Chains A and B, each alone.
Chain A
Amino acid sequence: MQPGLSFEQAPPISVPFRFFLTAPLFGMAAGLLLLWQGPAALASRWTGVALALTHLIAVGFMLQAMCGAMMQMLPVAAGANIWQPQRVTHLTHAGLTIGTLLLLAGFLSEQALFFRIAVPFMTVSLGAFALIVLVALFRTPAKGPTIIALRIAVFGLIVTISLGATLASAFGWQLALPLTEITHVHAAWGLGGWSLLLVAGVGYLVVPMFQLTPPYPQWFTRSFSVALFFLLAAWSITWLPLQRPDALQVALGSAAALLAVVFAVVTLRLQMQRRRKVTEPTLLFWRLAMACLVAAAAGVILQQLKPGEGEDYAGTPFLLGVLLMVGVFMPVISGMLYKIMPFLNWLHLQKIGKPGLVVPNMRQMIPEARMMMQFRLHLAALALLLAAVPLPLLVYPGALALIASCAWLEWNLVEATRNYARFSRELEERLAQEQVEPSPRPPSLGRG
């Protein structure tokens, strides 16, 4: 029997690609909104515009790409199979895409109707995604720090979705709820309990794998995700409408921020010890993200120690938002997409191939110079948006640079998709030729 490679665990390539190709479009939309609103966007974190911007990036860009990566990561990297991947993909992609648009419309128009539609729609689609992924993560026989971090991260996503649905219900049905308190906890779980833990869990695997560094130290991987989870949980309890223990809240919040600094420092140290001293785009994106994580954590600690100043000075939340979203998560996601998409192309091309046919190299999928160009554009966007805090007019060139960076990312990802189509066509043509003139080589597992 022909041995033929089996890749049944990998879902069809269209599953993750549709998420990856949609994410940069919302990044561009965030840039356009910022360009339209100008310095008014910096007025307060509580305006409809600020909330629309936050969700365009957090849900439209970040969550979109993260869900796509999760759908792919689980079977390939963790050996966990997702129930009905095609259906879950349709539901989740629709939930994220239409859900982001509903939130955008709701925040900008302040019409309750949009939130009334968004609540059931996003809760069902994203909630189903989170539960199905959580089940897959508990059923996999795989063990290790990545699985533990991912399980806690998905739990963090469930907390974020639940609190988000509560807030949106308050807007939709005019419920009298402590909105400020719930928003703080919702944002902390979204950015820390879900996003940062996901980056860490994935980082344990991909930083050593793609950047050729030593593995993350065991003392760190054993304790980081569990410690961050308990700190966030304890910190969240301090927000309950009781006699609020301020000192405890500051101590727990600062400890969680310090833990994020430890993750960033450990990652940067590992990257300095990498065996091939090549500086490539993914490494630069990760380094930028880790540097911004240190800066953002320092900002969070300072803001907690002097809470009054943060409330009056509208620039502080904008600064922290830009550092965390444009500085930490957008770069780390861009850098990862530049590894994930070429790797998936290669993996799926292997599936088409036949013994004796050479599959194109991963490096042929997206030209490196174009990835570097996007890194420069993104760096410019970050620098200009940070500088817009003291010099608000810089928000205009900052917004333009953000649009350019996201458009460039989209172009690069489209290129990877087109290359996959081209290479698979070429392989199939060569395969057809081989069937006419059979190869003298016996069937083999290797492709070379």
Chain B
Amino acid sequence: MGEERIVDGRGLMPPEPMELTLTALDTLPEGEELLLLLYVEPHPLYAILEKNGYAHRSQSRPDGTVEIRIKKRES
């Protein structure tokens, strides 16, 4: 297991967080997780993940940050 990969999209202007996330997923090793940090639930990204075989779960922090953990779905 390597270090956890993180995309912090909280200080970025859309669509930068989505672009960075999609690029990061390209090189994400099998079985590893990508952590995306945002202030909103990224519904367009969820639709893309769903269709492309990625599982995601999101959780809100008290400061309003949404943590989205993305992983390739096991086939």
Binding site for B on A (CB under 8 A): 3-10, 75-79, 142, 144, 205, 208-210, 212, 214-215, 218, 275-276, 343, 346-347, 362, 444-448
Contacts and interface: CB of A to CB of B under 8 A. Distances in A.
Nearest to A280: B13
Interface string B6-47: 000001111100010011111000000000000111011011
Nearest to B48: A5
Contact of A214 (B26, B46, B51, B64): B64
Nearest to A358: B19
Interface residues of B, number: 25
A106 to B, nearest CB: 41
A78 B24 CA distance: 24
Contact of A444 (B11, B19, B26, B47): B26
A444 B11 CA distance: 25
Contact of B52 (A218, A445, A447): A445
A362 B12 CA distance: 13
Contacts of B52: 3-6, 445
Given A8-B51, A347-B15, A446-B25, 8 more contacts: A9-B44, A142-B43, A205-B40, A210-B14, A212-B13, A214-B64, A343-B14, A445-B23
Nearest to A215: B64
Interface centre among A209, A214, A346 (most CB of B within 10 A): A209
B39 A208 contact: yes
B43 A78 contact: yes
Contacts of A447: 19, 22-23
A209 B46 CA distance: 17
Nearest to A347: B44
Nearest to B38: A209
Contacts of B48: 5-7, 445
Given A5-B48, A209-B40, A445 B14 contact: no
Contacts of B51: 5-6, 8
Contacts of A77: 40, 43
Contacts of B23: 444-448
17 contacts: A5-B22, A6-B48, A6-B51, A7-B44, A7-B47, A10-B44, A75-B43, A76-B43, A142-B41, A209-B14, A209-B39, A212-B12, A215-B64, A276-B13, A343-B14, A343-B15, A446-B26
A79 B50 CA distance: 12
Contact of B11 (A5, A10, A212): A212
Contacts of A8: 47, 51
A266 B41 CA distance: 21
Nearest to A76: B44
Given A212-B13, A444-B26, A445-B52, A79 B19 contact: no
A79 B39 CA distance: 16
B44 A445 contact: no
